[in-house]
A and B are shown apart, each in its own frame.
Chain A
Amino acid sequence: MRTPRFLALTTAALAVAGLTACAESDEGATASGGPVAVNATDTTCEVGSTTLAAGTATFAITNKGAKITEFYVYAPGDRIMGEIENIAPGLTRELRVELPAGTYETACKPGMVGRGLRGTLQVSGSAAPLTDDAALAEATASYQRYVQSQSAGLLEKTQEFVDAVKAGKVDEAKALFPVARTYWERIEPVAEIFGDLDPRIDGREEVIEEGMEFTGYHRLEKDLWETGDISRSGPIADQLMTDVKEIVAKATTAQLSPLNLANGAKELLDEVATGKITGEEDRYSHTDLWDFAANVEGSKAAIAALRPALEQRAPELVTQLDTGFADVDTALAKHRAGDGYKLHTELTEADLKELSDVINAVSEPISQVAAAVVK
C-alpha cells in the first residue's frame, strides 16, 4: 500500500504530467468535443460555445465571481433541461445534460436569485439520443403514461380539496388534504422541472422568499390545522387549482429523458430522507407518512419503467432495488391506519430510525441507477 507514495515522491514531475493527462481523459466529452467552458462572474455569464451538436452536452462552469452561483439550461417556457446549484466562488463544476435539436437558453444566477444572466443556445443535428436504445425509449414512454394517470388523480382530488375549503368544510378538507398530496408527491420531480410553479404549489413557509406570498397546499394546511379558520382561504384555494392545472399541462407534455427518471427516483427518496422522516413537510397536519408512501411509490414507478433497461445493463442492481423496496414496504406497513397512515407525532424515535434505515438502504442502489442508464 505504501509504494504509490514512494513512487510519487521520487517522481513528482511525472505525477504532475500524469495528473494533467488524467484530468483531460476523465472529463466527459460533448457531442462536439470537450466540455463547454462557462465563465461566471457576478455580472457576466460567458458560455464558450452557443451552438452545439445534439446529444449529451457537458458544461464546465467556473465561478469567478464573489457570490455563489447556479447554472441552468432552459427549453422554451423556462422548462429546466438541466441545472447545477451551489457553485461556490472559485469552484468549477460540471453539468451534463441531454439536449435534442432546438433553441435553448443558458443562465447563470449569481446570488442564486432572479431570472439570471441569459444567453441563447442553439442545438442542431440529430445525434443519437439516449432514448434510441429501445428499452430506454420504452422506459420514458411508460413513465410518461404513469405521469398522465397520476396527473388525472391530482386534478380530481385537488379540485375536491379546493371545493371543500371554499365551502368551509374543515373536516372534509382535512381528510382530502393528504389524499390530494399523494398524487402530487408521486410525480413531484417532474413538477419540479418547472421552476417557479413548485414553490407556489408546495412551498413551505420558511422557503418563501421576501415579496412572495405563502400559498399552495401548505398554506391551506396551516389555515386548516393551526387556526381552523378557512373563511378567507378561498383565493388561495383558487390559485392552487390554477397552478396545479398549469403544471399538469406542462408535465404531461414534457419530453423526459431516461436520466430524468433515474434522477427523479433518487430525488424522491432524498425527499423522504430530508423532509418526511423529520416531519418538516406536513408540520401542521403531521400527515408526513402519506407523503412518504407516495414518494416511495413514485420512485418505484420510475424504477419500474426503467426495469427492462436495467435488467440488461445492471441485473444485480435490480435485485438490490427489489430487496430494498420490499424492506421499505414492510417497515411502512407497520404504520398503516385506516385508509392511510399514522401521524408523524404518533411515531417513536425507534420507528423513525427504522424508517430512516430502510430508506438509506434502498437509496444506495438508487444512486447507482443514473450511471447504469448512461453506460
Chain B
Amino acid sequence: MRMSRRRMFTVAGAGLAGSAAAAGAVALHASRDAPAAPPHDAVDFYGAHQAGIVTPAQDRLHFVAFDVITKDRARLVALLRLWTEAAARMTAGLDAGPVGAVGGIPEAPPDDTGEALGLPPSGLTLTLGLGPGLFRTPEGVDRFDLAAQRPDALAELPRFPADKLDPALSGGDLCVQACANDPQVAVHAIRNLARIGMGTVSVRWSQLGFGRTSSTTQSQATPRNLFGFKDGTRNLKAEETELLRDHLWVQPGDGPSWMDGGSYLVTRKVRMVIETWDRAPLGEQEAIVGRTKGTGAPLGLTGEFDEPDLTTLPEDAHVRLAHPDANAGARMLRRGYNFVDGSDGLGRLDAGLFFIAYQRDPRTAFIPVQTNLARHDAMNEYLRHTSSALFAVPPGVPEGGFWAQQLFG
C-alpha cells in the first residue's frame, strides 16, 4: 500500500471521518456542473467536455504555456498519455505518479514532488489547449502532420491597437490551465506536468493568479477585479445550457470534427496602471466602467443584474462597448484571475487581470469585442496588454482515453 496524498489527508482528519463519510459519498457523484461543491472535493477529470471551463470558478490559478521541442509525433502523443494519467491522478487528490512522493527507493527521484502531500484535491481542474504552432510553425513547418487538421478558428489573433505584447510571454504550442481552491495544489500540478514533459516540451511562460474575477455559476457571487469593480456580472453561466451550446461549445459542422465539444481559449495578460487609477475620482471610475462601484448596478439602475439601457451610458464606457448588443450578440465564458507579480523597479504594483475566455469561435467573439474595446474603451488609459495567446481546447477525455485523442487518434 502506497502512501497517497488522500490517505494522509484522511488520516490527519480521522476524527471527522464518521460525519464526513456521508458528505464525502455524496460529493463523489457530484457533477462538475453542480453548484457549490465543497471547495476541497475532487472534480471529475473525465467527461464530454474538459473540466475547468464551466466548473465553478476556483479561487486560484497556475497557467502554463509550453513550446513543443521534440520533432517526433510519437513522443508528443506519449507525453499526452503520460500527462493524462498524471492529471487524472492529481485531480483525484493522488500523487502524480504511481510510486508517489515518498514511496520509492532512495536512489531514484520521486515521481511526485511532494508539496501537495496531505492536501485534499481542492477542486483541482487541469485543462489542456493546443496552440496554432502545433499545427504549423510560424516558419510554415508541419512538424507533426497536423496542418490539415487545423481549424480555421485557430488562426493567430490579429494585432489590436495599443497592444504592447511581449513575444516571450505570448503564444505557445500547448497550454495547461490549473485551477484549484488551494494555490499549492495548482502549482504542484503544473510543476509535475512540466517535470514529466522535460525534454519533450519546454515551458514558454507561466502565470499565477490569486483571485477569480468571474463567476461561472449562478450560485457564485460576482467577485471584484483589482480596479475594485465587480467583474463578470453578465458572464455565461453553467446553468445556461442553450447559451453554452450557442456560444461556448464547438458544434458539429463548425470545423474539423475532432474539435466537436471543445472550445477556444483566449488568454490576455492585462497590466493595470494601479496607481493612477487609484487617483481617479469615484465618478470618473464609474463612468469608465459604466457600473457603480458598490453594487455593480449599471449606472442609473439599482440592481447588479438589472439590464442596462446602453444608450444612457457614456459612449466609451467599458460595459457599453463590451455588451453583446454592441457586438452582434457575441458572448464568452470568462474565467480570469487577478494577478500581482510583485512590484516593478519604480515601486508600482505589477498587477492586473489575467484574462481567460472560452468561446465557440474567437472570430465572432473575442476578436470583434476586443477590436471594439481597443479602439474606444475609456479604460484603455489604465490598461496594458502584455501577453496574448489562443488555444483550441479539445473536448473531454473519455475514461481510459487521453488528452486530444480526438486529434491524434
Chain A residues within CB distance 8 Å of chain B: 1-2, 4-6, 8-10, 12-13, 15-16, 18-19, 21-23, 26, 28, 58, 94, 96, 259, 262, 324, 349, 353, 356-357, 360-364, 367-368, 370-371, 373-374
Contacts and interface: CB of A to CB of B under 8 A. Distances in A.
A129 to B, nearest CB: 15
A5 B28 contact: yes
B235 interface: no
Nearest to A323: B199
8 contacts: A1-B94, A4-B92, A8-B6, A9-B20, A12-B10, A19-B3, A361-B199, A364-B199
A1 B46 CA distance: 10
Contact of B88 (A1, A349, A370): A1
In this complex, the member of B102, B107, B108, B200 whose beta carbon has the largest number of chain A beta carbons within 10 angstroms is: B107
B202 A360 contact: yes
Interface in B45-59: 45
B108 A371 contact: yes
A190 B216 CA distance: 58
A15 B287 CA distance: 59
Interface string B102-115: 11111111000000
A-side binding surface: helix, strand, loop or mixed? helix
Nearest to B202: A357
B14 A16 contact: yes
B346 interface: no
Given A4-B92, A9-B17, A96 B106 contact: yes
Contacts of B45: 1
Interface string B22-48: 001100100000000000001001000
Given A5-B28, A19-B3, A21-B1, 10 more contacts: A1-B91, A4-B4, A5-B6, A9-B10, A19-B1, A22-B2, A58-B106, A349-B168, A371-B107, A373-B107
A8 B28 CA distance: 13
A9 B24 contact: yes
B198 interface: yes
Contacts of A5: 6, 10, 24, 28, 42, 92-93
Given A324-B199, A353-B202, A18 B1 contact: yes
A364 B103 CA distance: 19
A374 B108 CA distance: 10
Given A8-B10, A9-B10, A1 B42 contact: yes
Nearest to A25: B1
Given A5-B28, A19-B3, A367 B21 contact: no
A367 B195 CA distance: 12
A9 B25 CA distance: 9
A357 B14 contact: no
Given A94-B106, A96-B106, A360-B199, A12 B17 contact: yes
In this complex, the member of A15, A259, A349 whose beta carbon has the largest number of chain B beta carbons within 10 angstroms is: A15
In this complex, the member of A2, A6, A349 whose beta carbon has the largest number of chain B beta carbons within 10 angstroms is: A2
In this complex, the member of A12, A94, A357, A368 whose beta carbon has the largest number of chain B beta carbons within 10 angstroms is: A12
Interface residues of B, number: 38
Contacts of B199: 324, 357, 360-362, 364
A375 to B, nearest CB: 8
Contact of B7 (A15, A21, A94, A96): A15
B384 interface: no
B176 to A, nearest CB: 18
A15 B10 contact: yes
A361 B107 contact: no
B20 A22 contact: no
Contacts of B24: 5-6, 9
A363 B168 CA distance: 24
B81 interface: no
Nearest to B100: A26
B141 interface: no
B191 interface: no
B11 interface: yes
Nearest to B109: A367
Nearest to A28: B106
A146 B17 CA distance: 60
B286 to A, nearest CB: 43
B69 interface: yes
A16 B11 contact: yes
Contacts of A16: 11, 14
Contacts of B14: 12-13, 15-16
Contacts of A21: 1
Contacts of B198: 360-361, 363-364
Given A6-B25, A367-B109, A1 B89 contact: yes
A342 B14 CA distance: 61
Contacts of A356: 202
A319 to B, nearest CB: 12
Contacts of A367: 108-109
B32 to A, nearest CB: 13
B12 to A, nearest CB: 10
A356 B198 CA distance: 11
Nearest to B24: A9
Given A1-B92, A5-B6, A15-B7, A370 B202 contact: no
Nearest to A17: B1
A98 to B, nearest CB: 11
A362 B42 CA distance: 35
B21 A374 contact: no
A9 to B, nearest CB: 5
B17 A374 contact: no
B94 A4 contact: yes
Interface in B117-133: none
A192 B154 CA distance: 53
A22 B109 CA distance: 19
Contacts of B4: 4
A23 B1 CA distance: 9
A94 B104 CA distance: 12
In this complex, the member of B94, B104, B106, B168 whose beta carbon has the largest number of chain A beta carbons within 10 angstroms is: B106
Contacts of A360: 198-199, 202
Contacts of B10: 5, 8-9, 12, 15
A269 B6 CA distance: 35
A18 B200 CA distance: 37
Contacts of A19: 1, 3, 7-8, 11
A4 B6 contact: yes
A372 B374 CA distance: 57
A19 B25 CA distance: 23
B15 to A, nearest CB: 9
Contact of B92 (A2, A9, A15, A94): A2
A349 B28 CA distance: 47
A12 B15 CA distance: 9
